[in-house]
Structure 1
Amino acid sequence: MAFRSVFDLGAIRSEFENAGINTNFIPLIWKFVLQNPNCELNEVPSLPSIAYPLLTSKFKISTSTVDSVVESIDNVTTKLLVKLQNGAYVETVIMRYDSRLGILGGKPRPGGPRATLCVSSQVGCKMGCTFCATGSMGFKNNLSSGEIVEQLVHASRLCQIRNVVFMGMGEPLNNYNSVVEAVRIMTGFPFQISPKRVTVSTVGIIHAINKLWGDLPSVNLAVSLHAPIQDLRCQIMPAARAFPLEKLMNSLLEYQKNSKQKIFIEYIMLDGINDEEQNAHQLGKLLEMFQVVVNLIPFNPIGSLSSFKTSNDQRVVNFQKILRGSYNIRTTIRKEMGQDISGACGQLVVTHPKKGLKENSNLLTDIEDLRI
Structure 2
Amino acid sequence: MAFRSVFDYGALRTELENAGISAHFIPLIWKYVLQNPICELDEVPSLPSSAYPLLRSKFRALTSSLSSAVDSRDRVTTKLLISLQNGTSVEAVIMRYDTRLGKYDGKPRPGGPRSTLCVSSQVGCKMGCKFCATGTMGFKNNLSSGEIVEQLVHAYRFSHIRNVVFMGMGEPLNNYAAVVEAIQIMTGFPFQLSPKRITVSTVGIIHAINKLHDDLPNVNLAVSLHAPDQDIRCQIMPAARAFPLGKLMDALQTYQKNSQHKIFIEYIMLDGVNDQEQHAHQLGSLLEMLKVVVNLIPFNPIGTKSCFRTSTEQNVRKFQKILRGIYNIRTTVRQEMGQDISGACGQLVVNLSEQRSVGSAGLLTDIEDLRI
Measured against the shorter chain, the TM-score band is: over 0.9
Total equivalences in the alignment: 354
Relative to structure 1, the CA distance from residue 264 to residue 5 in structure 2 (aligned partners, 3 Å threshold; closer, same or farther) is same
Partner residue, 1:322: 322
1:74–1:337 Cα contact (<8 Å) kept: no
1:40-85, CA deviations, whole angstroms, 9 ceiling, x for partnerless residues? Answer: 1111111111101000110000000011111112320111110000
Counterpart-to-counterpart distance in 1, 2:103 and 2:37: 40
Q: Given residue 221 of structure 2, which amino acid in structure 1 is its aligned partner?
A: L
Q: Given residue 150 of structure 2, which amino acid in structure 1 is its aligned partner?
A: E
Partner residue, 1:20: 20
Moved over 4 A (4+): none
- Equivalent position SS for 1:196: helix
Unaligned runs of 5+ in 1: 355-372
Counterpart-to-counterpart distance in 2, 1:211 and 1:103: 37
Partner residue, 1:248: 248
Q: Given residue 268 of structure 1, which amino acid in structure 2 is its aligned partner?
A: I
Counterpart-to-counterpart distance in 2, 1:91 and 1:138: 16
Partner residue, 2:368: none
2:102–2:109 Cα contact (<8 Å) kept: yes
Counterpart-to-counterpart distance in 1, 2:239 and 2:229: 14
Task: Report whether the alignment pairs 1:190 with 2:190.
Answer: yes
Q: Given residue 261 of structure 1, which amino acid in structure 2 is its aligned partner?
A: H
1:229-261, CA deviations, whole angstroms, 9 ceiling, x for partnerless residues? Answer: 000010000000000000000000000010110
- Normalization by structure 1: what TM-score? 0.94
Counterpart-to-counterpart distance in 2, 1:17 and 1:343: 42
The one of the two structures with greater contact order (alpha-carbon pairs below 8 A, sep at least 6) is: 1
Counterpart-to-counterpart distance in 2, 1:37 and 1:249: 43
Unaligned runs of 5+ in 2: 359-372
Matches within 5 A, 1:212-361: 212-351=212-351, 352=356
Partner residue, 2:143: 143
By how many angstroms is 1:295 displaced? 0.4
1:203-246, CA deviations, whole angstroms, 9 ceiling, x for partnerless residues? Answer: 00000000010000100000000000000010000000000000
Counterpart-to-counterpart distance in 1, 2:105 and 2:3: 54
Q: Given residue 58 of structure 1, which amino acid in structure 2 is its aligned partner?
A: K
Partner residue, 2:73: 73
Report % sequence identity: 78
1:162-208, CA deviations, whole angstroms, 9 ceiling, x for partnerless residues? Answer: 00000000000000000000000001000000000000000000000
1:109-156, CA deviations, whole angstroms, 9 ceiling, x for partnerless residues? Answer: 111111100000000001000000000000000000000000000001
By how many angstroms is 1:20 displaced? 1.1
1:203–1:223 Cα contact (<8 Å) kept: yes
Q: Given residue 182 of structure 1, which amino acid in structure 2 is its aligned partner?
A: A
1:133–1:305 Cα contact (<8 Å) kept: no
Partner residue, 1:361: none
Task: Report whether the alignment pairs 1:33 with 2:27.
Answer: no
Q: Given residue 254 of structure 2, which amino acid in structure 1 is its aligned partner?
A: E
Counterpart-to-counterpart distance in 2, 1:9 and 1:305: 42
- Equivalent position SS for 2:268: strand
- Equivalent position SS for 1:162: strand
Counterpart-to-counterpart distance in 1, 2:170 and 2:9: 21
2:264–2:295 Cα contact (<8 Å) kept: yes
